[in-house]
Every structure is written in structure tokens, then in C-alpha cells.
Amino acid sequence: GQNIDQPTEMTATEGAIVQINCTYQTSGFNGLFWYQQHAGEAPTFLSYNVLDGLEEKGRFSSFLSLSKGYSYLLLKELQMKDSASYLCAVMDSNYQLIWGAGTKLIIKP
């Protein structure tokens, strides 16, 4: 079967750095997406990785290792507004997104 694993919940301090991991086992691979979802709001697109390596976008970076079936989302200089759920999703060989259950990130002052 297809599976996306990510931690259920993480806590970090304002101003710090946090890394949210995602491992996947899917039938085929056509890219990995990270989304942010604030409570009661729409998931919003953060990043897309299809090749090995690090993609940086301001305070957020996303890393992919194809051989390990592994990705992480790195958030720097954490702000209170970063408190949200972070969803990892992989596009399989049928171009269908397979989703993880999301990681709830709690930022403390």
C-alpha cells in the first residue's frame, strides 16, 4: 500500500528553527508537496520538490532524498503565525496526490 508518515505534533520556540520530517512509500513518484494549513482555513501551497536536494524560499526550505524516500520542511526564525498544520503529499505514478495526516506545529513564546 501507499503510505506517508509524518509526526503528529511538534512544539518549538519563537525565533528558533524546526525541521518537520516526512517519509513516503508510494507506487511511483512525480514530486513531493508541502502545504500549510491554519486551523479552519484552506491548505496553502509551500513547496514542490522532484529532484534530490534543497529548495529555499525565504524562511522556509524543503529537502528531498529520492533514494531514502524522505523529505523535510525546515522553518527558520519561527514566528507565532507559523503555528499551523503542515501537510506532506506525494504525487504517485497516476498523478494522484497521496497525503500524510499532517504535523501540527505549536510555537511557544
Partner 1 sequence: ETGVTQTPRHLVMGMTNKKSLKCEQHLGHNAMYWYKQSAKKPLELMFVYNFKEQTENNSVPSRFSPECPNSSHLFLHLHTLQPEDSALYLCASSQDSGGGSDTQYFGPGTRLTVL
Residues in contact with partner 1 by the rule CB under 8 A: 4, 8, 30-31, 33, 35, 40-45, 48, 50, 87, 89, 91, 95-102
CB of 17 to partner 1, least distance (A): 26
Question: What are the φ and ψ backbone dihedral angles of 82, each rounded to 5 degrees?
Answer: -80, -10
CB of 13 to partner 1, least distance (A): 24
Q: Which is nearer to partner 1, 75 or 87 (CB)?
A: 87
CB of 77 to partner 1, least distance (A): 25
Q: Which is nearer to partner 1, 19 or 44 (CB)?
A: 44
CA distance 108 to 12: 6
CA distance 97 to 90: 5
CA distance 62 to 74: 6
Q: Which is nearer to partner 1, 40 or 109 (CB)?
A: 40
- Rounded to 5°, the CA angle 15-103-48 comes to 85
Closest by Cα among 58, 9, 55, 11 to 32: 55
Q: Which is nearer to partner 1, 8 or 67 (CB)?
A: 8
DSSP state of 83: -
CB of 16 to partner 1, least distance (A): 25
